[in-house]
C-alpha cells in the first residue's frame, strides 16, 4: 500500500509483495489470461509470458481491466487479433474505458486488435470447456469460471465475490484446483473473508484450494500456517500443474 509502513508492507518475505490479481491458464502451447490488471505489463515481463491467445474477464472493476491496452504487444508480436470474452455488461464498461480499441478496425500491426465475444453460456477454448458461474460482488455480478477437460474439472476460479452460492458450489465440487477470493479476516460487504472462504472451500472439496485477492493486513506465512489441510495462500508467480 502506498504510504504504508505496516509489518506486511515492509516484510522481507517476497510472498508479501503483491500485485493485482490475475492468472494465466496454459496448455504449454496457448495461454488464456483471466483479467488484465494495471500491473499486466510488469507481470508478463516478470513471468516471461510471450503470448496471450485469449482473455477472459471476470468483471469491469479497474483492478481487473485497466491493463487492457498492454495486450497490444501480444497483437503486434504475432500479428493477430486476440479473442476477448466478457458478459455484455463488462464488455460495455471495457468499451467505455478503451473506446479507441473498438472504434475502428485496426489493420496495422502495432495496434491492439480484438475479437469480442459475449459470455452468455458455456464456451470452449481449444480442448477446454469453460462454464461461467455468476457470483455476487456488491452491486455487480462477477463471473467465475470452471475449466473442464475430458469431463474433469481442472480449475474453478472464483475471484471478487461476497458469497459462493449453492449453484456455484455444485459447479465447482470435485475440482482439482479451486482458486477463491479471501480478502481478510474481518467481514467485508463485497468480498469473502477467510472464515467464509474456508467454509465454501470445505463444501467444494477441491484437491487443493488457493486463496487470492487478500489485502495488506494478511501475513502470508502466518495466515497459511493457520489454514486447514489442502488450503494455501497464492502468491505472485505461483505455478500450479493441473493434472488433466
d(CA 142, CA 168): 12
Q: For residues 100 and 236, what is the distance between their CA atoms, to the nearest angstrom?
A: 31
Measure the CA–CA gap between 25 and 16, rounded to whole angstroms.
23
Residue 224 is predicted with a pLDDT of 97
Grid look-up 516478470 returns: 46
Residues 6+ apart with CB under 8 A from 92: none
Ordered domains of the chain (ranges, CATH): 22-120 (3.60.15.10), 122-233 (3.60.15.10)
Q: Residue 110: its pLDDT value, please?
A: 81
Q: Are 81 and 114 in contact (CB under 8 A)?
A: yes
C-alpha span between 15 and 218 (Å, rounded):
11
189-201 burial by CB neighbour count: b if 16+ within 10 A, else e? ebbbbbebbbebb
**Nearest-angstrom CA–CA distance, 76 and 84:** 16
Residue 9 CA from chain centroid, whole number: 23
Quote the pLDDT of residue 107. Answer: 66
Contact 198, 228 (CB under 8 A): yes
The rounded distance, in Å, linking the Cα atoms of 192 and 181 is 6
Residue 155 CB-density burial (10 A; 0-12 exposed, 13-18 middle, 19+ buried) = buried
pLDDT in tens, the chain (244 residues): 999 999 999 999 999 999 999 999 998 789 999 999 999 999 999 999 999 999 999 999 999 999 999 999 999 999 899 999 999 999 999 999 999 999 877 667 788 999 999 999 999 999 999 999 999 999 999 999 999 999 999 999 999 999 999 999 999 999 999 999 999 999 999 999 999 999 999 999 999 999 999 999 999 999 999 999 999 999 999 999 987 6
Residue 111: the pLDDT is 87
Amino acid at each position: 500500500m502506498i504510504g504504508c509502513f505496516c509489518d506486511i508492507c515492509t516484510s522481507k518475505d517476497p510472498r508479501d509483495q503483491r500485485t493485482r490479481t490475475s492468472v494465466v491458464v496454459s496448455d504449454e502451447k496457448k495461454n488464456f489470461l483471466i483479467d488484465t490488471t494495471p500491473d499486466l505489463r510488469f507481470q508478463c515481463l516478470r513471468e516471461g509470458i510471450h503470448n496471450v491467445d485469449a482473455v477472459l474477464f471476470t468483471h469491469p472493476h479497474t483492478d481487473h481491466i485497466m491493463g487492457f491496452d498492454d495486450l497490444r504487444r501480444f497483437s503486434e508480436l504475432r500479428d493477430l487479433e486476440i479473442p476477448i470474452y466478457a458478459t455484455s455488461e463488462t464488455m460495455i464498461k471495457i468499451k467505455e474505458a478503451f473506446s479507441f480499441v473498438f472504434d475502428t478496425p485496426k489493420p496495422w500491426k502495432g495496434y491492439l486488435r480484438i475479437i469480442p465475444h459475449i459470455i452468455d453460456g458455456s464456451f470452449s477454448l481449444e480442448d477446454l470447456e469453460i462454464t461461467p458461474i455468476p457470483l455476487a460482488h456488491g452491486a455487480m455480478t462477477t463471473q467465475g469460471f470452471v475449466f473442464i477437460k475430458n469431463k474433469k474439472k481442472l480449475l474453478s476460479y472464483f475471484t471478487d465475490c461476497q458469497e459462493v452460492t449453492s449453484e456455484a458450489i455444485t459447479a465447482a465440487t470435485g475440482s482439482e484446483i479451486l482458486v477463491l477470493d479471501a480478502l481478510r479476516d474481518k467481514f467485508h460487504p463485497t468480498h469473502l473473508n477467510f472464515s467464509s472462504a474456508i467454509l465454501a472451500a470445505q463444501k467444494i472439496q477441491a484437491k487443493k484450494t488457493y486463496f487470492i485477492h487478500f489485502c495488506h493486513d494478511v501475513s502470508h506465512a502466518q495466515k497459511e500456517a493457520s489454514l486447514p489441510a489442502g488450503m494455501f495462500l497464492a502468491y505472485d508467480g505461483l505455478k500450479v500443474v493441473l493434472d488433466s
